[in-house]
A and B are shown apart, each in its own frame.
Chain A
Amino acid sequence: MTTPVLDVRGLAYAYPDGHQALFGVDLHVHRGERVALLGPNGAGKTTLVLHLNGILTAGAGSVHVSGLPVARENLLEIRRRVGVVFQDPDDQLFMPSVRDDVAFGPANLGLRGAALEQRVVDALDRVGMVDFIDRPPHHLSFGQRRRVAVATVLAMEPEVLVLDEPSSNLDPASRRELADILRSLDVTVLMVTHDLPYAYELCPRSVVLSDGVVVADGSTRDVLTDDALMAAHRLELPFGFDPRTIPAP
């Protein structure tokens, strides 16, 4: 077996106020996989994501990204390897223009001049937003901002793309466009979501996090059709959606 892109072992974490969010999480994601991270509100999904790129430091256990431990001395390289796309694109896009924003990450990695410009154009091209390169982010639609947010991370050429609620607040057309983009990317994806049909459509594998531990890890179809598991962890399929009647994508 090759080295997993994400290798989380026995990860536990308590916030400074004493609230413990994670109680020993084990998770392995291999190259090229698309994995959905499911779970009710307050399960610790966001806390787990913030450990993957070293924003939070493990209380116990360890996180390795392609064999490199998440530790202070590796932070810049870890943050290049793990690209996190946050839920609200207004938080992610903080520079005055789309070009500057997409350039922010690769410039922090030391790129300048033509190489930097090439990175920016390539990343925007992959999400179909090159024509908007000189616009200020607040003049874009919500769906366009979400796509630019994905580009800001792609520009760092990450080994794994971590998306926090990628389909939230998107209209159905934008939601489908984003799905097409994610499918077209040749990159490992970990997707935190409440949108179970979206997880089924995009991710062959699902991991369920509940009360700070992994309670299920298997094919998305198996997870979504396990009624007892779903009911025990406050997961519900939307009305009219039944994975049993839909062939696996």
Chain B
Amino acid sequence: MGAGHGHQLHFHGHSPVHRMPAHLKLLSLLSFIVLVVATPREQYWAFVVYALLLAGVVAISGVPAGYLLRRMVVEVPFVVFAALMPFVATGPRVQVGPFTVSEAGLLAAWGLLAKGTLGVLASLTLGATTEPRDLLLGLERLRLPHQLVQIMGFMMRYLEVVTDELRRMRIARESRGFTATSVRAWPALGSTAGALFIRSYERGERIHLAMLSRGYNGRLPVTHQAAATPAQWAQAGILPALALATAVLAVAL
């Protein structure tokens, strides 16, 4: 049973950003992203301001920039899509280096890239400064239905257990000379997926029994009360407030 230390998003620290209650960080992140998305993409300077604001938060948090940049590879599919847009979009063409590309497509690609990158970076900053279980508590404080919070909690807890199970099944397959090289291998992979589903389902039933045995009655008990102080509310409001000012200016100008 490998109990390896999985790839973690969280970067341990004690900065003001780390210490802030998770529900405030979530609200701050959400309003920041909404404002970024609402900003007209022609106002290039506004996105520079957003990036600087975000860089400020990262600097305060003490999370190394390289740590966040490495994790930004999740954005790659969007970058590819954005890079294609100037070529496939229609409308007036402009010359960019050796290519003739669509002007509207170029602008759309810029908008997608700028807004996407800011969103990803902001979310990564939240992930790097917040323990997963605090994030769940934050979501619960924000009145997300408790069933959803429970499902996310179980996913977090059992992701590695299920991945490990899948890894053992792959090793057992390969130990009997199986290699997935062509379409003909798909039935074997399909039955692996089926077996994994059945196993996980049965595990779910056993977990439910274990929960009932300890007095579970449909709700996870709320045992943490991480109330936020007015000072923390004010701190958490700085980023959205500055972003709001930027967005208002960008729309007005």
Contacts and interface: CB of A to CB of B under 8 A. Distances in A.
Contacts of B209: 50, 55, 86, 91
B160 A95 contact: no
B133 A96 contact: yes
Given A80-B215, A92-B210, A156-B214, A141 B133 contact: no
A94 B154 contact: yes
B34 interface: no
Interface string B194-234: 00000000010011011111111100110100000000000
B223 A138 contact: no
Nearest to B224: A100
B213 A53 contact: yes
B210 A94 contact: yes
A44 B246 CA distance: 69
A108 B221 contact: yes
A62 to B, nearest CB: 20
A105 B214 contact: yes
B132 interface: yes
Nearest to B132: A96
B207 A91 contact: yes
Interface string A91-103: 1111111001001
A20 B132 CA distance: 45
B216 A142 contact: no
Instruction: Give the interface SS of chain B, mostly helix, strand, loop or mixed.
Output: helix
Contact of A138 (B136, B154, B160, B213): B160
Nearest to B156: A96
Given A91-B203, A100-B133, A112-B223, A142 B213 contact: no
Contact of B217 (A50, A91, A108): A108
The interface centre, meaning the residue of B5, B210, B213, B221 with most chain A CB atoms within 10 A of its CB, is: B213
Interface in A70-102: 76, 79-80, 83-84, 86, 88, 90-97, 100
Nearest to B160: A138
A115 to B, nearest CB: 11
A142 B210 contact: no
A105 B203 contact: no
Interface in A110-146: 112, 116, 136-142, 145
Nearest to B165: A90
Given A53-B213, A91-B207, A140-B3, 12 more contacts: A55-B209, A88-B206, A90-B158, A94-B207, A94-B210, A96-B156, A100-B223, A105-B214, A136-B157, A138-B160, A138-B161, A156-B214
Interface of A: 50, 53, 55, 76, 79-80, 83-84, 86, 88, 90-97, 100, 103-105, 107-109, 112, 116, 136-142, 145, 152-153, 156, 169
23 contacts: A53-B213, A55-B213, A79-B212, A88-B206, A90-B158, A90-B203, A91-B203, A91-B206, A91-B207, A94-B154, A94-B158, A94-B207, A96-B132, A96-B136, A100-B133, A104-B211, A104-B214, A107-B223, A108-B215, A138-B161, A142-B3, A145-B3, A156-B215
Interface of B: 1, 3, 5-6, 132-133, 136, 153-154, 156-158, 160-161, 203, 206-207, 209-217, 220-221, 223
